[in-house]
Amino acid sequence: MTAPAEALDVARAAAGDHADALVVDDGFGPPTLRVPSAVWRAVATALRDRAGLSFFDWLSAVDELDDGFTVVCHVARLGGPGALRHLLVSTTVPRDAPTLDSLVPVWEGAAWHERETHEMFGIGFEGGVALTTLLLPERFEGHPLRKDFVLASRVAKAWPGAKEPGESDADVAPGTSSPGRRRQRPPGVPEPEAWGPREPGSAAP
C-alpha cells in the first residue's frame, strides 16, 4: 500500500454496490475515507486485511445536529514500505436511528471506544460487546456530548464572579449586600419545567 488512492481501491472492492459513494479527503492531516454506514465493517475488514492497517487507535463521534452523527475511527499500519501510515475512516448515522455495526470483530480494541461513544452520544453498536456503563453514574440520564444536552450546572450554579464589571465591595455600604447579578438562562437552555427533575414514571413535558 503506497497511497490513499490504493486504500480507496481496496475499500471500493469491499463496498460492492456502495463503491461509488466512497470518498477520500486528503486535504488536511491524515487522509479521511468516508464510507456509507451499510459497509462500515466490511470496509474496515478490507483495510485491515488488504491494506495493512492492522492497528486500531481510537473511535469517537461528532454531533452534526440535523445531519445525524459522524462516527470516526483512526487506524494505522506499523512498519513495512509504503507512504500510507494513518487513515481516518468516517461514516454518518441518522439522528433518529443512530446504530452502526461494531468494529470489535475487526479490532478488539474498539470495545472501550464504542462503549464510551454509546454513553456520550447514544449511538448503538451491533455485534460487538455489551454497551454497559463505562464513565457515567448508573442512573445518569441522557448523553452529555450531544449538542442538545442541557448542562444543568449552568443554571443550578452561578458562574464564578458575583460582581458586574465596575462593581467592588468598596462601593457597598456597611451592613448591606452588593447588588446581585441578574440571573439569565444560558443560550439554548429551556425553561426548568422542560428539563428539570421529575418523579420516575411521570410524563415527559
d(CA 122, CA 159): 29
Amino acid 2: pLDDT = 45
Task: Return the C-alpha torsion angle 102, 71, 12, 126, nearest 10.
Answer: 20
Amino acid 71: pLDDT = 98
Amino acid 78: pLDDT = 83
d(CA 53, CA 83): 12
Question: What global pTM score does this model have?
Answer: 0.75
Task: Return the C-alpha torsion angle 117, 121, 126, 128, nearest 10.
Answer: 20
Residues of the chain with pLDDT under 50: 1-2, 162, 178
Amino acid 97: pLDDT = 93
Q: What is the pLDDT of residues 12-56, one digit of tens each?
A: 999 999 999 999 887 777 899 999 999 999 999 999 999 889 999
Amino acid 5: pLDDT = 77
Q: Is the distance from CB of 39 to CB of 14 less than 8 angstroms?
A: yes
